[in-house]
Structure 1
Amino acid sequence: MIPVRAQVPAVPITPKEIGLDVGRCYDAGAAMVHLHAREDDESPTWRGERFEEIITEVLLRAPEIIVCVTSSGRNWSDLPRRTEALSIPDPHKPELASLTLGSMNFPKSASVNAPDTIIGLIDAMQAANIVPELEVFDVGMANYARSLAKAGRLKPPYYFNILLGSLGTADFNATNIAAIVGSLPEGSTWALAGIGRYQLSANVTSLTLGGHVRVGLEDNPYFDWRTREPATNPRLVERLVRLGRELGREPVTPRIAREIIGIRQKEEVISAC
């Protein structure tokens, strides 16, 4: 929602640009894509029609990739707009949707996620048979997830995206990683991402710990922070695939990723319709 062309030259904006970028990442080894929607003037949008246009372009070039849409409260906090993308019908319906498990401050803004909003998002995702991508920025959010799971409000499969290094939330360090991962509900699958300069270190740490990775321009505009060399999404994916293989971690296909997370395979979804 934040990077714009003037600051991040390679950020894709239009549905076709996003579809082409995802296709390159898919060819490089990505199994999942996390989508935000923009209007042609680069402004963030919640419109379901725009998300459907993007997903159409994505699946045209990466037909098997797992599609995750945002439900972020960074630009708007009301449920109707935050759940708009959940109502997209098959065959373009997303399989996952992001769900941030608490309120927090970014360097220049806040993301407000009140408890009743979080419950409302969970209910909307469960009603649409969409798996939450549970976003955790601090150990308190992991604790809240465990509480929701114990109460039966949050149901498996549990897929967590842990994001560290943003000013106002947990730093990227070993203590915070251990505390957060150790607080997740039993049976959770987790990926680790770093904000800004911490992205590569967080990704490699996750690879060595047996976790999964999220990488991309949303969180990191540079391929090399020392030289400020601009990044592209495909180059960031390619680097992680190479490093993963050097560490003995082969990138998985979308089919295997669904098995790991516990998402129904596409043919199972079609047969159930």
Structure 2
Amino acid sequence: MKNYKKMILTATTANSWIYPDVKNWAQTTDDLIESIVKCYEVGASIAHVHLPRGEEVDTVKKIRERCDIIIQAGMSSYPIEEREADFQAKPDMLSIILNHHDEYFTQIRVNQLHTIEELEKYCVKCKEFNIKPEWEVWHTGSYWNLNYLINKNLLETPHVLTLFFNWPGGTWSPSTADEYLHRIKYMPQNCLHTISVMGENQIKIATLAIAHGGNVRVGTEDYPFIKKGIPAKDNAELVSGMVRISKEMGREIADPSEARKILGI
């Protein structure tokens, strides 16, 4: 394996969109904070958090009182006008999708267009609040929009991406080696990437990403099982499992301080 930087591990502790009956995620705000702290203690550098509506500022404050984990505010499906409270909470990072949401989950369907004008507004607003954008990439068409923003000098390097695989709906892509290699082949320069895989191919794509210098996201939102058919006890168990795999492959795990330097936060 090449001498890649340490692996950055993201924990996504929200509910499972495709396995709603597996109840191993936090049900309350206090439980959410506790889950994030436990993930931090076993190796997660980033917490991808769906900040509870109406509690955004308080939730970020309470997490920071407990640990130094990088806070990444999720729910990029919302239009920018509905995310003012996320900005006011001043997380370290903010999730932004580079094209549009077209997702078909067990209990809900999400179809939300995110225009280039909205993406430009995100760039300006993130600079205003000193928040690092995390760009969600569902297919290579997302790169056209990213290059547009880069060419307009709206972004600072490195560009932090999360590549999504096997999320059901019109922006679905297969969780295969071919798709992963295709996606990283066409990434713009100065990008760092993390993979997010729904379903049982998660470990296969995660190991491929680790071997190619990528980073990994795990947690109940993406795949709530520690093995096929066996729900994890909690998110910390999912994080611990990926820490072990990365170390066995020869890549140590970045702590939050190291991750901040790598990500330019």
* Class of the TM-score when normalised by the shorter of the 2 chains: 0.7 to 0.9
Over the aligned positions, Cα root-mean-square deviation in angstroms equals: 2.0
Q: Which residue of 2 aligns with 1:258?
A: 260
Q: Which residue of 2 aligns with 1:157?
A: 158
Q: Which residue of 2 aligns with 1:129?
A: 130
Q: Which amino acid is 1:70 matched to?
A: G
Q: Which residue of 1 aligns with 2:174?
A: 171
Q: Which residue of 2 aligns with 1:31?
A: 45
Structure 1 segments (4+ residues) deviating >4 Å: none
Q: Which residue of 2 aligns with 1:51?
A: 56
Higher RCO (C-alpha 8 Å, min separation 6): 2
Q: Do residues 199 (structure 1) and 196 (structure 2) align? A: no
Does structure 2 conserve the Cα–Cα contact (< 8 Å) formed by 1:32 and 1:66?
yes
Mean Cα displacement is larger for which, 191-200 or 237-246?
Answer: 191-200
Which of the pair is proportionally richer in helix? 1
Q: Which residue of 2 aligns with 1:248?
A: 250
From the superposition, tell whether residues 260 and 33 of structure 1 become closer, same or farther in structure 2 (CA, over 3 Å): same
Q: Which residue of 2 aligns with 1:268?
A: none
Which residues of structure 2 form unaligned runs of 5+? 1-13
Which of the pair is proportionally richer in strand? 2
Distance 2:205 2:112 in 1: 22
Distance 1:13 1:37 in 2: 13
Q: Which residue of 2 aligns with 1:42?
A: none
Q: CA deviation at 1:8?
A: 2.9
Q: Number of residues paired by the alignment? A: 245
Q: Which residue, 180, 184, 187 being the options, matches 1:181?
A: 184
From the superposition, tell whether residues 190 and 240 of structure 1 become closer, same or farther in structure 2 (CA, over 3 Å): same
Does structure 1 conserve the Cα–Cα contact (< 8 Å) formed by 2:143 and 2:187?
yes
Does structure 2 conserve the Cα–Cα contact (< 8 Å) formed by 1:67 and 1:96?
yes
Does structure 1 conserve the Cα–Cα contact (< 8 Å) formed by 2:16 and 2:223?
no
Does structure 2 conserve the Cα–Cα contact (< 8 Å) formed by 1:8 and 1:230?
no
Does structure 2 conserve the Cα–Cα contact (< 8 Å) formed by 1:16 and 1:57?
no
Q: CA deviation at 1:152?
A: 1.4
Does structure 2 conserve the Cα–Cα contact (< 8 Å) formed by 1:133 and 1:160?
yes
TM-score by length of 1: 0.82
Q: CA deviation at 1:193?
A: 1.7
Q: Which residue, 45, 66, 72 being the options, matches 2:70?
A: 66
Q: Do residues 96 (structure 1) and 93 (structure 2) align? A: yes
Cα shift readout 1:3-33 (whole Å, capped 9, x = no counterpart): 4896232211322111111111111011111
From the superposition, tell whether residues 238 and 2 of structure 1 become closer, same or farther in structure 2 (CA, over 3 Å): closer
Which residues of structure 1 form unaligned runs of 5+? 39-44, 264-273
Q: Which residue of 1 aligns with 2:25?
A: 11
